[in-house]
Amino acid sequence: MVGQPGGTSMFSRFPSPQNLWLALAAKVYSAAGQAASILHATAILQVYQAKALKQLHEGSPDPGLMQELRSATDFALQATKVTARSLGQVMSTMVVQEHHLWLNLAQMADADKVRFLNAPISQAGRFGDTVEDFAQQFSAVQKQMEAIKHILPRSDKASGARSRPAHRQGPPPYGYYICSAP
């Protein structure tokens, strides 16, 4: 299974977050390719159905042609179901990827992240109570970080290394707002 500790994967040479991302991307690629292939087959079946219907319209009903038309319709319906399932896999895997991305971007301990990654994803509220739990946990971590910032001295205040030059005109450099504290 993807993301399980100790599991073997073709991406096992990468660190854990990259391993999971690459495995999920491979899953998305496979499911999307399957959906595209099935849509192509469905298009071919629909062309065949149109030709068969044209023959039925021009002449008398042929029992063999009607059976072929029914078979083509059954194949098209089965292909539609498989396509919908493949696209559902693509979407659910993308949800898991985005969930994993945001957990990696959050400043929280790995033990806390595991709880959110193992949470079930439900249709009611997309993630159930997981989103609210995540928001509360993130707020608690941010409050702890703020409390620690007031206690510990910042090394960049002493050196003045991160101060913005007063003579600079125009917008700040890229990443300034991301890297500097408000």
Distance CA 159, CA 153 (A): 12
Termini Cα distance of the chain: 42
Let me know if residue 145 belongs to a domain: yes
Let me know if residue 43 belongs to a domain: yes
Let me know if residue 155 belongs to a domain: no
What are the counts of helices (DSSP H) followed by strands (DSSP E) for the chain?
A: 6, 0
Per-residue pLDDT, 174? 45
Per-residue pLDDT, 100? 75
Per-residue pLDDT, 4? 47
- Torsion 121-122-127-130 (CA) sign: negative
Per-residue pLDDT, 181? 45
CA 90 from chain centre, in angstroms, equals: 8
Domain extent for 71 = 7-93
Q: What is the mean pLDDT of residues 122-132?
A: 56
Distance CA 94, CA 77 (A): 26
Same domain, 11 and 88: yes
Domain count, the chain: 2
Let me know if residue 25 belongs to a domain: yes
CA 143 from chain centre, in angstroms, equals: 29
CB count, 10 Å around CB of 62?
Answer: 13
Average pLDDT of every residue of the chain: 71
Q: Is the pLDDT of residue 112 over 60?
A: yes
Same domain, 88 and 14: yes
Unique residue bearing structure tokens 């499911």: 31
- Record the tokens describing residue 148, joined without a space: 């620690």
pLDDT tens per residue across span 18-67? 777 778 788 888 888 888 888 888 888 888 888 888 888 888 678 888 88
Distance CA 117, CA 130 (A): 9
Q: What 3-state class would DSSP assign to 155?
A: helix
Same domain, 66 and 35: yes
Let me know if residue 42 belongs to a domain: yes
